[in-house]
Amino acid sequence: MNVRKLAMSSVFAALMCLTGMLIHWAPALIPFSILPVFVYLSGLILGAEYGAMAMLVYLVLGLFGLPVFASAPFGGLGYILKPTFGFLLGYVAAAYVVGRFYREGSLWRAITGVFFGLIVLYLFGLSYLYVILHWVLHQTTSIAGVLAIGFVPLLFMGDLIKAGLAVWVGQEIVRRR
């Protein structure tokens, strides 16, 4: 394993934790959740494996009780029972997908990578919602039903803007380093 990349992965996991903490300690300071931006950035800067590893570290620390998630109770295994937990799982997959698509310096690769990362994020989020409805609550549900509950067009538009922001920040960082 590359030691330099290992240290950079821990920095990205720490940035995710710090942002999660800041969202609930100083909500007036951060106007929107910038966690997805860091997810895409980890894929762009660290690559597929290390980006996914950084997100996995964030997820593990949160699930074991460290208060790093954005909403109450901010950590713990109880998050597994939240219908939106799939989006947290999707962070790992999204970072991997972004890293797989991206080639350093290529703007188009960054745009397509982040776009596919966003799709994967929603795929995980909505699939988990389906699992909760179908397997935990034993409700007969369809894909259309899951989309009606879990897919909010306005939020998706917001996520598209965040994806664009990640591309801009990622290119800036690659250029300046």
Partner 1 sequence: MDSQELYWFSDSVLHRLDPRLKVGGLAILSLLLTLTRWQGLVLTSLALMGLVIISHTPLRLFRGMTFVLLWLGIFYGVAAGWVWSQSASFWQGHWSQAGLLQAVFMLWRITLIFGLTRLFAAVTLPMEQGLGIVYFFAPLTSLSTKAAEFALLLTLTLRFIPLLGEEAALIWKARMIKGNWPTTWLRRSWEICQLIVPLILISLKRAEELGETMLARGYGSGSFRTFLIHERTAMDWWGGIAVGLWGVLLLIWH
- By CB under 8 A, name the one of 23, 37, 88, 94 that touches partner 1: 37
- By CB under 8 A, name the one of 107, 139, 156, 160 that touches partner 1: 139
Ranges of beta strands (E only) in 47-150 are none
* Contact status, residue 78 vs residue 31, Cβ threshold 8 Å: no
Residue 64: φ, ψ to 5°: -85, 5
Residues numbered 79 to 138 that lie near partner 1 (CB under 8 A) are 80-83, 132-133, 136-137
Distance CA 124, CA 89 (A): 7
- By CB under 8 A, name the one of 33, 48, 66, 106 that touches partner 1: 66
Name 36's Cβ contacts closer than 8 Å, sequence gap at least 6.
91, 94, 118, 121, 159, 162, 163, 166
The site for partner 1 (CB under 8 A) is made up of: 1, 3-15, 17-18, 21-22, 24-25, 29-32, 34, 37, 41, 45, 53-54, 56-58, 60-61, 64-67, 71-78, 80-83, 132-133, 136-137, 139-140, 149, 165, 168-169, 172-173, 176-177
